């Protein structure tokens, strides 16, 4: 079951990024939300921190 959910979340990200042409932050939000809700506490922390790093890195103004 874990393998299926991983493929589903990866497919959701790829669909948003490649088909709908969303940016990384918008494409990663559904997968990050699902992982943060379902995951264990260390997974939640990792996903939230990684999502924030991607968002800050993408929208950083030099």
Per-residue model confidence as pLDDT tens digits over 3-18: 777 788 889 899 999 9
**Predicted TM-score of the model (pTM):** 0.75
- Calpha distance 4→61 (Å, rounded): 38
Q: Which residues of the chain have pLDDT under 70?
A: 1-2
pLDDT score recorded for residue 1: 56
Asked if 8 and 42 count as a contact pair (C-beta separation under 8 A), the reply is: no
pLDDT score recorded for residue 7: 87
CB-CB neighbours of 16 under 10 Å: 19
Check the CA dihedral 26-28-30-32 and report its sign: negative
What is the SS3 assignment for 57? helix
């Amino acid at each position: 079951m874990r393998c299926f959910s991983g493929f589903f979340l990866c497919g959701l990200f790829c669909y948003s990024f490649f088909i709908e042409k969303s940016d990384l932050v918008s494409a990663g939000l559904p997968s990050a939300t699902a992982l943060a809700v379902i995951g264990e506490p260390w997974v939640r922390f990792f996903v939230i921190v990684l999502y924030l790093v991607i968002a800050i890195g993408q929208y950083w103004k030099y």
